[in-house]
Chains A and B, each alone.
Chain A
Amino acid sequence: MKLLIYDRDITLSDSVKEKYDRVIFADGRYAPCQGCFKCWTKTPATCVMKDSLHEMCRIIGLTDDLVIVTENWYGGYSPVIKNILDRSIGMSTPMSTYRHWQMHHVLRYGRYNSARIYVTGDISDKEKETWKLMGQRNALNWGVSDVEVIFSDPFSDGEGADL
């Protein structure tokens, strides 16, 4: 499955939508993660908060190729995108393992192929370095084979034809 998550309030062209199996606009109309871990211990792979993100971990977990378009916030994701990722830890299980000699969680859905992260907005050199590290860390945690952080705005043409 190919998944696009983006945080810009923009109308995507049909040609862009056709490239993806699922397109999610991060509108921010959902609650932040409460850190209860019940998506591991009580209702596996389901968040107990019943809003649009309550099964988001299943969607991201089943993805083969993930594309994220996010505004830069201090070298990390925008709050609306970060909220989606925070609420998706159910894509792994509570059990732990080693990956690259470090402790990580066992993946519920196994590894996926690629993640491309487009970072938009004003960004300093120091923040770019933070982003590169963030991409590597995310790839390790999510079990992504190939991750790419791209500092360019795919919506510069107004409708995201570059995606």
Chain B
Amino acid sequence: MKTVFIDCSPKKRLSASGFIMGLTELFVLGKKKNEKLRTPADHERILSEISDAETIVFSMPLYVDGVPSHLLPFLKKMETFCREHNKTFNVYVIANNGFIEGKQNEPLMRIMENFCDRSGIKWCGGLGIGGGVMMNVMRILLVVFLGIAVLRTILSLINEGSFFPVRPWIVFGNQILEVLALGCGIITFDIWFANCINRKKEYGKHYTRIMLPSFVFIICADLFFTIISVFQGGIFRGWFSRKKPTE
């Protein structure tokens, strides 16, 4: 069984879609291949890669209540490809959005289901994730925390001659547990999703989220964008102003 995972995020690196796709891939058995779909130059390569696949997993962000615009021409080409070659793929979709409610991915899921109907391929369902971007930020933070734990260990070795100070690693262990607690819904649904891929079963449509109350998530999101806007300078360039077109 060959499964092709297609990361449809337009971002070059560190995309939440790519991260969640990678997480899913850990639990999928058999031959696997990863593809990145960003530009029309990727289309033919991906079509060639899926030609001998049994299962295709699309992972994408929600853009304005639907699929990102750069993906649509590929879907049209794939529809033609499937019809011309009588392909019968199993198609699964992972969608993540910046809002906390995974349910907001519903229109995207329906679009992908309609695409499968038109292409004559099997819609096997999708997983919609709310606040997926937070998981992505946390995995980056975990790398930073790991670096801090290593640094504290080296400093302890230099200053106190202790080869393995326990404290930095207890702190790091706690940080891992916190991330796992916040992401337990996503991880659980993801394992279930991967299990359906392995058994070629229909998953249906399911929605999950970061395990935070929405008002806390909103505060975190607002803080995140405020900090980024300070560093990038947007906060000083009419952050909320009702700007008029210049032409």
Interface residues of A (CB under 8 A from B): 32-38, 40-46, 55, 58-59, 61-62, 73-80, 82-83, 85-86, 88-89, 93-98, 102-104, 106, 108-109, 124, 126-127, 129-130, 133-134, 137-138, 141
Q: Is B58 close to A, CB under 8 A?
A: no
Give the residues in chain A near B61, CB-CB below 8 Å.
35
B127 at the interface (CB under 8 A from A): no
- A sample of 20 cross-chain residue pairs with beta-carbon separation below 8 angstroms, ordered by A number, consists of A35-B15, A35-B61, A38-B234, A42-B233, A59-B245, A73-B72, A74-B111, A74-B112, A74-B114, A76-B72, A79-B72, A82-B63, A82-B68, A97-B218, A102-B104, A103-B100, A103-B218, A124-B114, A126-B110, A126-B113
The interface residues of chain A lying within 8 Å CB-to-CB of B76 are 73
Contact (Cβ within 8 A) B10 A126: no
How does the 8 Å CB contact mask read for B234-247 relative to A, with 1 for contact and 0 for none? Answer: 10011111111111
Q: A35-B9, A75-B111, A102-B101 are in contact. Are A45 and B66 (CB under 8 A)?
A: no
CB nearest neighbor in A for B99: A103
Residue contact A130 to B111, C-beta cutoff 8 Å = yes
- Count class of interface residues, chain B: 35 or more
| Chain A residues with CB below 8 A from B118, complex form | 74
The A/B interface has a contact count, at CB < 8 Å, of 159
Flag whether B106 is at the interface (Cβ < 8 A).
yes
Chain B residues contacting A80 (CB-CB under 8 Å) are 69
Q: What mask results when residues 180 to 195 of chain B are scored 1 for a CB within 8 Å of chain A, else 0?
A: 0000000000000000
Does any Cβ of A come within 8 Å of B42's Cβ? no
Residue of B nearest to A93 (CB): B240
| Interface assignment of B107: CB less than 8 Å from any CB of chain A | yes
Determine whether the beta carbon of B68 is less than 8 Å from that of A33: yes
Which residues of B pack against A, CB within 8 Å?
9-11, 15, 61, 63-70, 72-73, 75-76, 99-101, 104, 106-107, 110-115, 117-118, 214, 217-218, 221-222, 225, 228-229, 232-234, 237-247
Please determine whether A86 and B110 come into contact, CB atoms closer than 8 angstroms.
no
Nearest CB of B to A99, in Å: 11
Instruction: Determine whether the beta carbon of A32 is less than 8 Å from that of B70.
Output: yes
Smallest Cβ-Cβ distance to A96: which chain B residue: B218
**Does B66 contact A94, Cβ atoms closer than 8 Å?**
no
With a CB–CB cut-off of 8 A, which chain A residues contact B244?
Answer: 58, 62
Bound-state Cα–Cα, A78 to B237, Å: 33
CA distance in complex: A79, B225 (Å)? 28
Q: How long is the Cα–Cα vector from A61 to B240 in the complex, in angstroms? A: 12
Q: Known contacts being A44-B241, A55-B247, is A134 close to B66, with CB within 8 Å?
A: yes
